[in-house]
Amino acid sequence: MTAGGAAAGSTTGEPGRRMRVLAVADSDSYVKWGAAMLDRMPPEWDRELVLLATPVLPSAAQLAAALAGSMFAAPGAPVVDLRDLAERVARDRPDVVLLSVRGPVVRVLVRSVVAAAVGPRPVIVSGLPGISIPETYQALYYRSQVDLVVLHSKREVRAFTELAADRGMQQSFALATLPFLPTRRAGTSTDDAADIVFAAQAKVPALLEERVGLVERLVAVARARPDRRVVLKLRGLAGEPQTHAEKHPLDTILAGLDDVPPNVVVSTGPMAEHLDRAAVLATVSSTAAVEAIALGVPVRLIDDFGVSGGLINIVFEGSGLFGPTESLAADEFAPPAAAWLDDNYLHAAGDTDWIAKIEHAALLRSRGALPLRRQFRGSLGGALRRTWDRKLALGPYDRSASGRFAYVAVVPVRGAVRRARALRARLRRAVERRRATRLVDPAETPISG
């Protein structure tokens, strides 16, 4: 779908002028983010969304949920392969390409877009679709060549700027508001909302015994509150593709339990519809918590498994929203701490600068002053490495002979390199332990007693 109708090849970077934007998305969460970002762009810009064929393409139900409420909800978005995308870039000459895809795919698409561009290459923008604290080097590594990385909180911008500086990376960051944050409940009044909605994540908690225990605790809450539905809100049912592979699907775990009360239900669909019926939103870590806060829906961050970077929940420290699963049976929940909100996703709309920074980059482009950033590491191996990157990102959707050759040639080498690195690490640790032992002088060791 294209909004507007400017002639192909329009090139402008002046604020308030029409620009042509092409967004490329792959998994369900990135589809949702990309469509919502396009919605928030100036209405005079031409905006188009396509899905890249990769192993994590969303199912029809996931796609409908991801596009619900966006300008692309009715027509959907076409699926293209890498060659189709290159042809589209060459034909339509977009001013901006928004790469709403997973990190390894970003790196591949940057190369494809730059190679296909006719005239000045497009401004290349990417971002992260949800909570990105703790900040990770990998997120920046894969996006090292994009012109602008969009983040969604002052804390994220600060953390990623510091991380890039520490790693010696040149990168520009912009602040947006999470584009899918709702502003009001669709229809249900707060008094009528009766569901305890649990927003699940594929990655946390990670261990099978933890996920079984979580489901058992939620079932116990349902028994304690027969007047409320306990809704396990999933991104996808077992077997459906997701941004992150789910080893232990919660719906499968629930199906294996005995005597599950009838007020425990499994559901998918748009989060907004579930929040419309939620008396409380619970999660271990999910952007849905921020969506709920924006609506004034009570939130409980489950801390049964702790608070850590691995659980992706340290961003909520200081919010006042943590508590055990059992507390969901209560009716009173404290609001988030006011000091936490402005630094974490609920900043004022006037604080955002992402549109201005895209316009500035487009202006530099029009003047021939937007050089492509160098790839930060990961270039050893030349053409074979680039082919391997493409095969790894696209999987069976890369049907090229070079991709098949790279897979056959690189996999054994990659395994040998990993084994060599592991051996070096073990030897280094052994040497360090031996040095530490030699540094201890028995004559100086204190004797207790």
Distance CA 439, CA 195 (A): 62
Helix (H, G, I), strand (E, B) or coil at 47: strand
Predicted TM-score of the model (pTM): 0.79
Burial class (CB in 10 A: 0-12, 13-18, 19+), 348: exposed
Task: Report CA 407 to chain centroid distance, whole Å.
Answer: 27
Dihedral of CA atoms 427, 309, 272, 38 in degrees, nearest 10, equals -70
pLDDT of residue 5: 36
Q: How large is the average pLDDT for residues 122-139?
A: 94
Backbone phi and psi for residue 348, each to the nearest 5 degrees, phi listed first: -70, 145
- The backbone torsions φ and ψ at residue 239, rounded to the nearest 5 degrees and listed phi first, read 100, -20
Query: How are beta strands 96-100 and 46-52 bridged, if at all?
Result: unpaired
Summarize pLDDT for 336-354 with one digit per residue, the tens. Answer: 999 899 999 999 999 999 9
Compute CA distances 28 → 55, 57, 134, whole Å: 12, 7, 22
- Amino acid sitting at position 364: L
Query: What is the pLDDT, as a whole number, of residue 3?
Result: 45
pLDDT, position 7: 33
Sheet containing 20-25, strands listed edge to edge, beginning at the edge strand earlier in sequence: 79-80, 46-52, 20-25, 96-100, 123-127, 148-151, 173-175
User: Any residues with CB less than 8 A from the CB of 143 and at least 6 apart, and which?
Assistant: 103, 106, 107, 126, 149, 171
What is the DSSP secondary structure assignment for residue 254, as one 8-state letter?
A: H
Cα radius of gyration (the chain)? 24
pLDDT at 434: 72
**Which sign does the torsion angle of CA 208, 209, 213, 219 carry?**
positive
Q: What is the mean pLDDT of residues 199-220?
A: 94
Tens digits of per-residue pLDDT, 27-55? 999 999 999 999 999 999 999 999 999 99
Tell me if 221 sits within 8 A of 309, measured CB to CB. no
Mean pLDDT of the chain: 86
Q: Name the 3-class secondary structure at 298.
A: coil
Cβ-count burial 181-213 (b if 16+ within 10 Å, e if not): bbeebeeeeeeebebbbbbbbbbbbeeeebbbb
Q: pLDDT tens, 378-396?
A: 666 667 777 878 888 888 8
Pair 354, 176: CB distance under 8 Å: yes
